[in-house]
Chain A
């Protein structure tokens, strides 16, 4: 069974795991991979709504595991991108509704049809986390350049390293970086975060209002050519496929959009 099972985790909640999972899934599908996303946040499902697929849910992962339906019936194919599919979480159950070995079984079955299984891990380090990492051989650690997020990410990295799975080295995604604050030394920069956590970087995503508007519409930011965050996320997908893309997000010349380009035109040069 040749396929990749990648878990997107962070420890801390609200740092961008679901956004990253949804967008990476869409971007990888656009690059030709057959991708299935699993929402492992049972009881607090969000991957469906971020993708705009919330009204297509009939069965969820708990139904599959409890044999109330066939696996195929719980798989929602994205009509915009046929290479992308979603298995939603249950909303009226909790993390104890499935166990790690059931998760492994589901992932193994999925690898017969898909090339990449991307798992959206819930916040925390309890049962939900254990379920989410059970079948994974790769992990993406999403963090914000901010003390509590980094502290929690460090804990999660430690847990992954001591887990019984055969997992590759975790890869770091620094999400919601704000270049103006970094320049004023009021926000940790990407190198600081990388140095503190001690793992390799795979992506940097700027804080971007287009994420909010994309979620409002249910269309992932990677589908929007003008979205800076979308561009960064597409780059992460390409790096995941082995391409060597330089980290241009670290560049001071990062334009924040149309009005900034206009401002630059009229800027007084000292």
Chain B
């Protein structure tokens, strides 16, 4: 064990660095491969919110738009949680 990882174990930062490396690489490669900058995703998220809000009530904070690896391809995935539809409760 080298002195750096020994120190990190002492101060309580237990997570092994390789997990960070793998996660960061997978994320950065998705962006590198599709050439979509992070700010673009932010803009897309706001516009998706505006469009979908016309039809259903959605929570902007819970809205998630990101790139994912799906079956060897890169996919743009939007998770859009819909707030309780008030009409359903009244029925």
Contact = CB atoms under 8 A, between A and B. Distances in A.
Q: Is the interface of B mostly helix, strand, loop or mixed?
A: helix
A151 to B, nearest CB: 6
B25 interface: yes
Contacts of B16: 184-186
A154 interface: yes
B21 interface: yes
B72 interface: yes
Given A147-B25, A151-B25, A158-B33, A186 B5 contact: yes
Nearest to A198: B72
Interface in B12-38: 16-19, 21-22, 24-26, 28-29, 32-33
Interface in A180-207: 184-189, 192, 196, 198
Contacts of A151: 25, 28-29, 32
Given A184-B1, A186-B5, A196 B29 contact: yes
B22 A196 contact: yes
Interface in A159-191: 184-189
Interface residues of B, number: 17
A186 B25 contact: no
A150 interface: yes
A1 to B, nearest CB: 35
A188 B22 CA distance: 7
A4 interface: no
A155 interface: yes
Contacts of B2: 186
The 10 closest A-B pairs by CB, nearest first: A185-B16, A185-B18, A186-B17, A154-B29, A147-B21, A188-B18, A188-B21, A196-B25, A192-B22, A147-B25
24 contacts: A146-B21, A147-B24, A147-B25, A150-B25, A151-B28, A151-B32, A154-B29, A154-B33, A158-B33, A184-B1, A184-B16, A185-B16, A185-B18, A186-B5, A186-B17, A188-B18, A188-B21, A188-B22, A192-B18, A192-B22, A196-B22, A196-B25, A196-B26, A196-B29
Given A147-B24, A186-B16, A198-B72, 16 more contacts: A147-B25, A150-B25, A151-B25, A151-B32, A154-B29, A158-B33, A184-B1, A185-B18, A186-B2, A186-B17, A186-B18, A187-B18, A188-B18, A188-B21, A196-B22, A196-B26
Interface of B: 1-2, 5, 16-19, 21-22, 24-26, 28-29, 32-33, 72
